[in-house]
A and B are shown apart, each in its own frame.
Chain A
Amino acid sequence: MSWKHKHLLGLENLSRQDIELILQTAKSFKEVSSRDIKKVPALRGKTVVTLFFEASTRTRISFELAAKRLSADTLNIAANVSSTSKGETLLDTARNIEAMNVDAMVVRHSSSGSVFLLAQGLKCSVVNAGDGCREHPTQALSDMFTLQEKFGRIEGLKVGIIGDILHSRVARSNIWGLTKLGAKVTVCGPATLMPRGIEALGTDVCYDLKKVLKQSDAVIALRLQKERQQDKFLPSMREYSCLFGINQAKLKEGSDHLIVMHPGPTNRGVEVSADVADGKQSVILDQVTNGVAVRMAVLYLVLGTKS
């Protein structure tokens, strides 16, 4: 089984074998991060640029560490809106950076599909670090890696994704990845934040959190943006938290082996209560640790392909 993709734009277009290869590669890289000397020369001489048009701490740092632990040179660009207000388009900005001979560009942008525009217009590898509401493949891969670590398998697992499904790229990537690997995904959240026709992606829809907690092996709580209330999707954060927030009392509905995940950053007391986030069923920090390993695997694989 070999890797054939120059870019990682999402999980929708990857095969089950592709995803398994990433997870398998990540496993060996996770060991690197636990060493005293946390570095291998796999990408020595390669240049990896992170180009973020949206604020991010965790994902950007995770990619930077991943590249550094593979001995690549890294450069971080937090492109704010001002470069576009100067009349420079996304593609222009990226082409200018590429002209300095970079090998991979890790991109986050608020526009769904923007990574396709870049992949078509650039010669270097493009890795999607989140495009609009479409995909956030490395987050889903971290989640899947974590699930595999905890359960030893993904096939047959029942996973609930809770919250703002409509705007969530994490939800979409997880739906693609988990269903390809044989898990059963149920999405759960307010009807106003449930995208039309989501069942067509191979998920069940359920509006009853308790029911989802009861049936699941793992639940992924999504971050709820405060703007959703201003956009009238929700009556109040309080009501959201009552219906879809996970606290210790509700967690008792589920089985003992149920694990709670969150892509971060958490709004404590909204999506998950503090005692749940810090509790023994939470694997939120494992997801962060595994994120580095998964991103090492992705960078290693895309930069290893001959285009």
Chain B
Amino acid sequence: MGLLIKNAIIVNADKIWGTRQDILCEEGKIIQIAPKISVANRHLHEIIDAAGKKVLPGLIDIHTHLRQPGREDKETIETGSRAAVKGGFTSVMCMPNTNPVIDNAMVAEFIIREAHRVGLCNVYPIGAITKGQQDGELTDMAELKASGCRAFSDDGKSVLNSRLFRLAMEYANMLDVLIIEHCQDPLLSAGGVMNEGVVSTRIGLKGDPGIAETVTVARDIEIARYLNARVHLAHMSLARSCELIRFAKSQGIKVTAEACPHHFVLTDEACSSFDASTKVNPPLRSKEDVEAIKEAIADGTIDCIVTDHAPHTKEDKEVGFDTAPFGLIGLETSLGLTITELVKPGIIDLPKMVDKMSFTPARIVGLANKGVIKPGFDADITIIDPDHEWTVTQEGFVSKSKNSPFIGRKLKGRVEQTICNGKIVYHAPIA
């Protein structure tokens, strides 16, 4: 049984192929790439004509929230997987702030089992750094690693206790797993609900100062330097954070960083609408920060683009800006926003986009067989039409939640087909 993609213009992180190729996949692997692969004498269950489209390695989101177990009213592994493949993602890593928290093998194994039953995309649980994400004791990381966790994070909050964070990094380094830090000092944030600045002053919402992020970035960089250990900084939102990371990288410190589309598309001005879907953590920042994030993506300071997909129900969000929970959904808009805001204006090209959304995320979390279209690699493939224009609508979301500040926005770039493990898992509606 095999799958053949014909007439593919392949886009890998290193280049766009100049000529059309056929791609043959069997047993979940890419077997052969050649200008013309004969269909004779082969058991093909699917043939796709990709003429006029671009064929990318499947997108990988290393920062998403699937809410299961615990908040199945917001999202489940099934609905989240459906949103992922519609957005072109073949692999997602889900954060451990579920209920119960992913701090033991049983929860991690449940997620992997459930994702397997759903069978749409690869789901990798991220283990908690501390038990119950309580900033108290480290989790059994080796056991969690054995049950499938490639990375650890207390996402939603920082590991505030600096000694504990140092120990976590030392321990994770020994196990060769990644520590992902949510950089935000809660004492400095002090209950802020949006970026502290002129807009928060104007509209009277409690401000969360940028220094809550940057002091944690600086701390983590220093610990990484001291230990010569790796650290990955989640959802960077500030110009100053980019400067600190740029400096750290220039010193050879093993730091990697990610950014989310909403932080390179929207500013804190969006909060003036009091639309709770603009309430996100870290908050939307200033115009200068938005420009700096774009620049940092282009120059490699920011290694990858993630969604921080954070579904919330209408009931939870419609309670006033102050009390609404933080977060917005991103799986279904990430590619379109990246193409529209970064690729079309020429800030990055398509191979660089593949680098940020597939190749490098795979390298950061050690998915050695992913992120490249090449014989021997996993048959995770996303076929896109980068010029197809579409409008984000509430009804269009397949995620269980609709908390997107991008509803009504016109985007360029649409996923046509998503192939995971050699199977077609998503097909864009005709017309």
Interface set of A (CB-CB < 8 Å, partner B): 12, 84, 89-91, 109-114, 116-117, 131-135, 169, 172, 195-198, 200-201
Contacts and interface: CB of A to CB of B under 8 A. Distances in A.
B127 to A, nearest CB: 33
Given A110-B322, A117-B320, A201 B204 contact: no
B200 interface: yes
Contacts of B196: 196
A135 B200 CA distance: 13
Contact of A200 (B198, B205, B206, B273): B198
Interface in B315-338: 315, 318-323
B202 interface: yes
Contact of B274 (A84, A90, A113, A172): A113
B413 to A, nearest CB: 31
B205 A201 contact: no
B203 interface: yes
B205 A197 contact: no
A196 B320 contact: no
Nearest to B273: A116
A116 B272 CA distance: 10
Contacts of A172: 202, 204
A113 B201 contact: no
Contact of B207 (A109, A134, A169, A196): A196
Contact of A112 (B197, B198, B203, B315): B203
Given A111-B320, A113-B320, A196 B204 contact: no
Contact of B204 (A90, A112, A197): A112
Nearest to B199: A197
20 contacts: A89-B318, A89-B319, A90-B319, A91-B318, A112-B203, A112-B205, A114-B320, A117-B274, A117-B320, A132-B204, A132-B205, A132-B322, A133-B206, A134-B203, A135-B204, A172-B204, A196-B207, A197-B201, A200-B198, A200-B202
Contact of A113 (B207, B209, B315, B321): B321
A201 B201 contact: yes
Given A12-B202, A113-B274, A196 B197 contact: yes
Interface in B273-310: 273-274
Interface in B167-215: 196-198, 200-207, 209
A197 B203 contact: no
Interface core residue of A90, A116, A135 (most chain B CB under 10 Å): A116
B204 A134 contact: yes
A142 B139 CA distance: 59
Contacts of A198: 201
Residue from B202, B206, B320 with most neighbouring chain A CB atoms (10 Å) = B320
Task: Give the interface residue-count category, chain B.
Answer: 20 to 34
B198 A169 contact: no
Contact of A196 (B201, B315, B321): B201
A172 B205 CA distance: 12
A134 B202 CA distance: 7
Contact of B197 (A84, A116, A117, A197): A197
A84 B320 CA distance: 12
Q: Most B CB atoms within 10 A — which of A113, A116, A172?
A: A113
Sorted from nearest, which 6 A-B pairs have the closest CB atoms?
A134-B204, A113-B274, A133-B204, A197-B198, A111-B320, A195-B201
A169 B204 contact: yes
B323 A113 contact: no
A219 to B, nearest CB: 21
Interface in B330-366: none
A132 B273 CA distance: 15
Given A111-B321, A196-B207, A197-B197, 19 more contacts: A109-B320, A110-B322, A111-B322, A112-B203, A112-B204, A112-B322, A113-B203, A113-B204, A113-B321, A114-B321, A114-B322, A116-B274, A131-B204, A133-B206, A134-B203, A134-B204, A135-B204, A196-B209, A197-B201
Contacts of B197: 196-197
B213 to A, nearest CB: 15
A110 to B, nearest CB: 7
Contacts of B205: 112-113, 132-134
Contacts of B323: 111
Contacts of B198: 196-197, 200
Centre residue among B203, B273, B318, B319 by max chain A CB count within 10 A:
B203
Contacts of A196: 196-198, 200-201, 207, 209
B200 A195 contact: yes
B315 A89 contact: yes
Contacts of B203: 112-113, 134
Contacts of A132: 204-205, 322
B386 to A, nearest CB: 36
Nearest to B198: A197
A133 to B, nearest CB: 4
Nearest to B271: A113
A197 B286 CA distance: 13
A200 B202 CA distance: 9
A111 B197 CA distance: 18
A197 B196 CA distance: 9
Contacts of B321: 111-114
Contacts of B318: 89, 91, 117
Contacts of B273: 116
B318 to A, nearest CB: 6
Nearest to A201: B202
A191 B319 CA distance: 32
Contacts of A110: 322
Contacts of A114: 274, 320-322
